[in-house]
């Protein structure tokens, strides 16, 4: 490991069941990157995929990827994802998209919450991210 590598550990936690598609605990060393919740808006501020959670998830994860790149990070550096969905039943479809971006062998810690509404009525999903990049 070079000195520029981020140190990420995913230790098991006594008394907790292993996560199903997420890590219960991630320990990281490096610079913290905090990305505000991203929604399915394109560069012009238009909603992408109205009524289609999969299309919205693709836009959201594309937006997250752009934010990570701007910070000098990638999805490999993400240690925590927070999901806000207007229909918890949509979460499996969102996870299919998420799985294309993350390392399924070392997934980030995650939280998923159903909310009554997001900032615009057409939006079905918002995702925030925390990443740690090398010093």
pLDDT along the chain (135 residues), means of 10: 57 83 83 95 97 99 97 95 98 98 94 98 98 87
Kindly list the distances between the CA atom of residue 45 and the CA atoms of 27, 86, 87, 95, 120, in Å, as whole numbers in the listed order.
35, 20, 23, 24, 11
Which pLDDT score is estimated for 2?
40
Contact 134, 33 (CB under 8 A): no
Kindly list the distances between the CA atom of residue 109 and the CA atoms of 16, 21, 25, in Å, as whole numbers in the listed order.
14, 9, 6
- The CATH number that domain 7-133 falls under is 3.30.1330.40
pTM comes to 0.87
What are φ and ψ of residue 100, in 5° steps?
A: -75, -15
Please, which residues bridge with residue 72 across strands?
none
Which pLDDT score is estimated for 3?
44
Neighbours of 58 (CB within 10 A): 17
Contact 118, 126 (CB under 8 A): yes
Which pLDDT score is estimated for 91?
98
Which pLDDT score is estimated for 1?
38
Contact 9, 24 (CB under 8 A): no
């Amino acid at each position: 490991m070079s000195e520029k590598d981020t140190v990420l550990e995913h230790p098991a936690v006594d008394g907790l069941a292993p996560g199903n598609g997420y890590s219960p605990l991630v320990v990281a060393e490096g610079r913290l990157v905090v990305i505000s919740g991203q929604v399915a808006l394109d560069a012009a501020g238009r909603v992408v995929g109205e009524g289609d959670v999969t299309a919205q998830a693709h836009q959201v994860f594309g937006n997250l990827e752009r934010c990570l790149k701007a910070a000098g990070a990638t999805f490999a550096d993400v240690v925590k994802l927070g999901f806000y969905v207007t229909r918890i039943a949509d979460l499996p479809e969102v996870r299919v998209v998420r799985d294309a971006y993350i390392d399924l062998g070392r997934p980030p810690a995650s939280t998923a919450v159903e909310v009554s509404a997001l900032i615009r009525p057409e939006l079905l999903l918002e995702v925030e991210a925390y990443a740690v990049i090398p010093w």
